[in-house]
Chain A
């Protein structure tokens, strides 16, 4: 592990360390946040000071503490959504690629249709019709995003399925389980992990956008997109409170993207040795 880290270029190291810090904040939010998540500790939009490093928000809550708790909410929900979308997308795409025929046709055409609707538009229509609830939110994000996972998963799996070594396994009489887990999966793991990183970064951005529009996580829970919404009116008065959570989202996404970039560059040289 240490050697792997050392072999990374600067940008990837930066990404790994950044992701680590965010993850740490998310897990130990209760321990490291100086104030409570919903605790009103000062005046509205106090400037940064020794007591409030990043000032206070639109209700007089400590901005830094909200940011740290926000990391918890945002990362947890985005992670849940991306794990769910990834599982659904992989299951469907591998099934389509390995089974082929009608199963593949039906799944792929439905997926094409969903892909033809821009994500946010689809989410807005569906969320308008559903009760507001965090599990529904995660579910909707996952369903929309799995279309992208499906597209990649199928392309990658189809690529591997046509290889002679998979045909050789079929001719040997191996079952689907062996073919998927022993022959295909080890060969597609790196691009899939990279894709998972991308999906997670996308989920963070998407969740934040929904919350910013008032359709994601509901107050008073702290989450980054919602915090931008809460504090956006301060911008006119030159209060930068809305910019901090925005920056947090951007930095987390940059870190994830940098790690993913490095992984994708590495895959191309790993796959199959030559050619």
Chain B
């Protein structure tokens, strides 16, 4: 059995698993691009009609269809669009004929900055809170954390955002209210200070879900028989946590983080609108409002793509963290 698990290519089984996972991810992005382009087109309603509004004359609609190239078959347009996307060209906005790329580049950086700040605070904090809840399981701190996180998952992002603006920015003078426009020539820390409130809003939204799931994952872990074995070896608590629980906690916690990235992606869209922050989210919402399809599709595929890539990375991480997969039979 020992030799047979190694693939003929000489790759280790873990590599094969990881490559498979990456392949599936790439396939998924492709499928979703098709769904966002062709599937959306198949829906009732007409882009040109929607774009111009219900009162537009049939001639105007026909004109614009031709102008935008909507009279050609959808498959042809999809393949053209896909070709463009793969070479980094997202086409032109219908609304102002500007290049989508230019806007996308600038705004993606802003969005990633905001999301990264939020993630860097939220991930360690929620893991810490999750562990704290487990440590004081069924005692006051656990119940308090439970109730607070339940309230936090029940609050819409915009409510949290306006609460922060109303109380912190306006009443106490902590942090800035909208509009928040980062300026990279001001230096990193000036920008960091500027995004304080939007980032905190995101943190509140993400942390609640992440903390609850971390708690469940850790409780599950501590009920494993091998933790009992460690206790019965007379090991001190610190060693049990560090040596026996932690190595096995990595994979489930990576999974929890990955699952909750969805809240970050959705949250960032809303938070950008609240704080009038010039990122992808606001660009996206504005384009949806005026039905500027090239921009909508570009933003859609970028958001979905980023989310899938992050998930894929998490999957690879948890494969690498799993001793059963890392040390095959």
> Which residues of A line the B interface, CB within 8 A?
11, 113, 116-122, 124-131, 201, 205, 208-209, 212-215, 225, 228, 232, 235-236, 238, 240, 242-243, 246-247, 249-251, 253-254, 256-258, 261
Complex contact A209–B156 (CB within 8 A): yes
Complex contact A246–B163 (CB within 8 A): yes
Chain A residues with CB under 8 Å of B170's CB are: 235-236, 238
Q: Which of B219-227, B239-247, B262-270 contacts A (4 or more CB under 8 A)?
A: B262-270
Q: Which of A129, A131, A215 contacts B40 (CB 8 A)?
A: A129
A63 to B2, CA, bound (A): 73
Complex contact B288–A124 (CB within 8 A): yes
Which of A119, A208, A254 has the most CB atoms of chain B within a 10 A radius of its CB?
A254
Complex contact B166–A121 (CB within 8 A): no
* Contact of A212 with B45 at beta-carbon distance under 8 Å, contacts A128-B288, A253-B154 already known: no
Chain A residues with CB under 8 Å of B171's CB are: 238
CB distance from B28 to the nearest CB of A (A): 6
Name the interface residues of B115-131: CB closer than 8 Å to any CB of A.
none
Cβ-based interface call for B140 (8 A): no
Complex contact A254–B154 (CB within 8 A): yes
Complex contact A124–B296 (CB within 8 A): yes
Main secondary structure of the interface of B (DSSP, over half): helix
Complex contact A253–B155 (CB within 8 A): yes
Q: Which of B28, B47, B269 contacts A121 (CB 8 A)?
A: B269
A130 to B42, CA, bound (A): 10
**Which residue of the partner chain A has the closest CB to B54?**
A131
Q: Which of B29-37, B67-75, B80-88 contacts A (4 or more CB under 8 A)?
A: B29-37
Complex contact A209–B270 (CB within 8 A): yes
Complex contact B166–A246 (CB within 8 A): no
CB distance from A112 to the nearest CB of B (A): 8
Q: Which of B32, B163, B291 contacts A117 (CB 8 A)?
A: B32
A-B contact pairs, 9 of them (CB 8 A): A116-B28, A117-B307, A124-B285, A130-B50, A208-B156, A213-B270, A228-B159, A243-B159, A250-B156
Complex contact A121–B304 (CB within 8 A): yes
CB distance from B182 to the nearest CB of A (A): 20
Name the interface residues of B35-49: CB closer than 8 Å to any CB of A.
35-36, 40-41, 43-45, 47
Complex contact B40–A125 (CB within 8 A): yes
**Which residue of the partner chain A has the closest CB to B42?**
A129
**Which residue of the partner chain A has the closest CB to B143?**
A11
Which of A121, A212, A251, A261 has the most CB atoms of chain B within a 10 A radius of its CB?
A121
Chain B residues with CB under 8 Å of A249's CB are: 155-156, 159
Nearest 8 CB-CB pairings of A with B: A246-B159, A253-B154, A120-B266, A254-B154, A125-B300, A128-B288, A250-B155, A128-B296
Known: A124-B288, A129-B41, A131-B50. 14 other contacts (CB 8 A): A113-B32, A116-B32, A117-B32, A117-B35, A118-B262, A121-B284, A124-B299, A125-B288, A129-B40, A129-B43, A213-B273, A238-B171, A243-B166, A250-B155
**Which residue of the partner chain A has the closest CB to B28?**
A116
